[in-house]
Amino acid sequence: MKNLVLPCLLVIGIGFQSCKNEEKQKEAEAAKAEAETVISSECYQSVYEKDTIALKLNTLKNGKLTGNMIMKVAPSTVRTGEVAGEFHGDTLFIDYTFKDNVNKDKTFKNPMALLKRDKQLILGNGTMQTTMGVTYLVKDKPIDFENVKYKFDSAECADKK
């Protein structure tokens, strides 16, 4: 009889511990979903010669930004994808993950820096480097926000999502 008591207590203890772990995991998932709740959306558009870029940014409760961007670059390239990033001071650093109409099966990812000045976002030109397949802006090289093509102005959002 004593031999059965110890294994039963062990099984019961493991059962209680797994229930606690499951509760903690559910709480962590709920907290993550809460942090990723969209609290506001803003849309921007930039036109340069025959190029048009539409950008939608969703501000999340945790302060990060997500959204989408469509780049129509003359004469025929159209890049459609998603952006994700966050502000560091007045500069928004995002990763643009996209596909274009030429290489439909291939996904590309580019870093971008946008300076918020008044009600405008200015797409900067910076030195990019690729290491082990990952492209990033070189940290010790300045980003030029003066000699640029694309300046985004506020625009009406096409959809209210």
The answer on pLDDT for 150 being more than 90 is yes
The answer on pLDDT for 68 being more than 90 is yes
Tell me 131's DSSP state: E
Q: For residue range 49-58, list pLDDT tens digits in order.
A: 999 999 999 9
Q: How many residues belong to the chain?
A: 161
CA neighbor of 152 nearest in space, from 64, 75, 83: 83
Averaged pLDDT of the chain: 84
What's the CA angle centered on 144, arms 133 and 132, to 5 degrees?
Answer: 10
pLDDT at 161: 46
